[in-house]
A and B are shown apart, each in its own frame.
Chain A
Amino acid sequence: MDGETEIGHKIVVIEKEISMKLRKGQKLKETLIEKFFLLNGILAILILLGIFSLLFIKGFPAIRELGWKTFFGSAVWNPTSYEKARYGILSLINSTLMVTLGALVIAVPLGVSCAAFISEMAPPRLREFLKPAVEILAGIPSVVVGFLGIVLVNPLISKVFGVSHGLNALNGALLLAVMSLPTIISLSEDALRAVPHTYREASLALGANRWQTLVRVLIPSGLSGIIASIMLGMGRAIGETMTVLMATGNAPALTFNFLEAIQTMTATIAIELGEVPYNTAHYYALFVIGFVLFVMTFLVNLVSDLILQKYQEVER
């Protein structure tokens, strides 16, 4: 009898040990799996840092060697000149800002009112149709939009304004407006939809009509979300390459006239990187442009992010 209980006892102990070991193994496996996913999680941070540091490493020596003023104190971009290469990027920055602002002037009123239409006014069936339409518009490749800038918008501009050709800043701004519209529409619509129902009902109950409710209650309440959507649309416009490359004429001159040809930062990189030999001053200068471009879009995105976060905190 005694021996039997002892054996039974031993078996129980061994079983416990085995299950402990099994559980330990399992725990180890679970931790390893979690670590594996964590590694993938921080990949995004690594890539962002990688892009930043590569652009910096490639661009900074050029700035140090040629001086800040060469890049940021001049508007003459002529890196292939035989006498003296000039690397002033002010005209390129100016061009980028021109088409971006031009695009926003068109896309913001149109986009926000379209968002208001979808969220407040459109009958359900029309909404079911409009929302995918906006998504499809977002999916049209930029090179196709640029192509239409050449074949459709170009002759239209030269006819309407009586200029010899329509590949200019105005053309680029119109195309960028189309490119940034989907971003502005869908995010503004989200912002309007996120306004609590009670706001809407309270306003209507006080005797305001639907238009007054929209303009005085819903849009102010959703304003931070709308502004964030505009910032994101702006970031997209700053970074757009193919449309402006194809439609703006590509003449790196400092101008404020929308009917003249310009050359944006993105277009400059796109045109010239394919032609310069690796590791020349011109090559590094293009990375300086890339770095400035990266910083610009990064700041725009960061601001929109901060606005959105603040707005979510208020909502909670």
Chain B
Amino acid sequence: MKRKWSEKIGFFSLFLSGVLVLFILGVILYDIFSKGSGAISWEFLSESPRQGMTEGGIFPAILGTFLVSLITVVFAVPFGMFSAIYLHEYARPGRLTRLIRLAIRNLSGVPSIVYGLFGVVLFVQMMRFGTSILSAGLTLGLLTLPWTITACEEALKTVPKSYREGALALGATKWYTIRTNVLPYAIPGMMTGMILGLARAAGETAPILFTGAAFFLPNLPKSLFDQFMALPYHLYIMATQHHAIEKVRPLAYGTALVLLGMVLLLNISAILIRYRYRQRMKGQS
């Protein structure tokens, strides 16, 4: 009897913890969506802040986040892909490969603020890009690189070995095999990884604090060497640094909703692509 009760109580507490995790997610989403949706309007999405950021919209911040993410992707995707191709297709087990993997795992654990410090020294000061879209985008690119590599490698893993062996047996060279028989099948998987990396980069604040994000800019950025406004930084400012915090709270909620909505949309589309892709791969192998 006692055993039975301990099982029941134990399983019930497991169930409760599962529910609690869902509850936490639910509270976060509900709060932001219910209080943020009131602020959303066409004006909010398409105009610049006015009157010391107490009125108007957040268009410059949306644009800034978009531009920075673009730089991030342009930098992180090719390097991440090439690195993954090396690790999965070329690397032989040994000390170097172990070292590379160790470096990747440790890079993904480096705090985002440390990437910020690194970006300030390397891009802003040493390379003289100044505080700019380019500096911030490259810093975020470094930050997302380990995730991109891991995601691309996972995608390469899903391509059956027989695809490679078939091409090699027919006399194709290694690169030809990879190009024609491996990459086309790995691309959808790589895409999901990139979208997830993009979502993370778009929501990061700490690395862009000193590499280019600005409090308020009267004009939209004209080149990659200009400063920019970004959604996460804008939310941070509206929530902590504004002179009339209570008054702009609805705007802060609106900004949070736009940011969260963007990130969620990217996440969900990545999950969906992966799901469909898995179904397809199941049918093939």
Interface residues of A (CB under 8 A from B): 26, 29-30, 33-34, 36-38, 40-45, 47-48, 50-51, 54-55, 58, 109-110, 113-114, 116-118, 120-122, 126, 130, 132-137, 139-148, 150-152, 178, 181, 185, 209-212, 214-215, 232, 235-236, 238-242, 245-246, 266, 269-270, 273-274, 278, 286-287, 290, 293-294, 297-298, 300-302, 305
Q: How distant is the Cα of A309 from the Cα of B133 in the complex, in angstroms?
A: 40
Q: How distant is the Cα of A105 from the Cα of B106 in the complex, in angstroms?
A: 24
Pairs of residues from A and B, 4 with the lowest C-beta to C-beta distance, nearest first: A239-B111, A141-B203, A41-B86, A40-B82
Q: How distant is the Cα of A269 from the Cα of B27 in the complex, in angstroms?
A: 30
* Residue pair A211, B6 in contact (C-beta under 8 Å): yes
Q: Is B105 an interface residue (CB 8 A)?
A: yes
Q: Is B209 an interface residue (CB 8 A)?
A: yes
Q: Is B196 an interface residue (CB 8 A)?
A: yes
Q: List 9 A-B contacts (CB under 8 A).
A: A30-B173, A34-B90, A41-B86, A43-B145, A55-B118, A143-B232, A151-B31, A181-B24, A211-B10
Q: Across the interface, which residues of A come within 8 angstroms of B267, CB to CB?
A: 135-136, 139
Q: Fill in one digit per residue for B82-100: 1 if any A CB lies within 8 Å of its CB, else 0.
A: 1101110111000010011
Which chain B residues (173-227) contact chain A, with CB distance < 8 Å? 173-175, 196, 199-200, 202-206, 209-210
Q: Across the interface, which residues of B come within 8 angstroms of A236, CB to CB?
A: 109
Q: Across the interface, which residues of B come within 8 angstroms of A121, CB to CB?
A: 11, 14-15
Q: How distant is the Cα of A137 from the Cα of B264 in the complex, in angstroms?
A: 10
Interface of B is mostly: helix
Of the candidates B103, B146, B174, B210, the one whose C-beta lies within 8 Å of that of A274 is B210
Known pairs A114-B18, A141-B202, A270-B113 / 7 extra A-B pairs, C-beta < 8 Å: A54-B122, A113-B13, A142-B205, A210-B11, A211-B10, A245-B236, A298-B106
Known contacts A30-B173, A110-B17, A274-B210; is-contact A144 B114 (Cβ 8 Å):
no
Q: Across the interface, which residues of B come within 8 angstroms of A37, CB to CB?
A: 82-83, 85-86, 89-90
Q: Across the interface, which residues of A come within 8 angstroms of B199, CB to CB?
A: 139
Of the candidates A144, A151, A270, the one whose C-beta lies within 8 Å of that of B260 is A144
* Residue pair A270, B206 in contact (C-beta under 8 Å): yes
Of the candidates B79, B90, B110, B203, the one whose C-beta lies within 8 Å of that of A142 is B203
Q: How distant is the Cα of A278 from the Cα of B142 in the complex, in angstroms?
A: 23
Q: Is B239 an interface residue (CB 8 A)?
A: yes
* Residue pair B18, A44 in contact (C-beta under 8 Å): no
* Residue pair B260, A140 in contact (C-beta under 8 Å): yes
* Residue pair B107, A48 in contact (C-beta under 8 Å): yes
Q: Fill in one digit per residue for B1-24: 1 if any A CB lies within 8 Å of its CB, else 0.
A: 001101100110111011011101
* Residue pair A278, B125 in contact (C-beta under 8 Å): yes
Of the candidates B3, B20, B25, the one whose C-beta lies within 8 Å of that of A212 is B3
Q: Across the interface, which residues of A come within 8 angstroms of B117, CB to CB?
A: 54-55, 58, 269, 273, 286-287, 290
Q: How distant is the Cα of A301 from the Cα of B90 in the complex, in angstroms?
A: 26
Q: Across the interface, which residues of A come within 8 angstroms of B109, CB to CB?
A: 232, 235-236, 239, 297-298, 300-301
Shortest A46–chain B CB gap in Å is 8
Known contacts A144-B235, A301-B109; is-contact A242 B205 (Cβ 8 Å):
yes
* Residue pair B196, A139 in contact (C-beta under 8 Å): yes
Shortest A284–chain B CB gap in Å is 11
Q: Is B164 an interface residue (CB 8 A)?
A: no
Q: Across the interface, which residues of B come within 8 angstroms of A55, CB to CB?
A: 114, 117-118
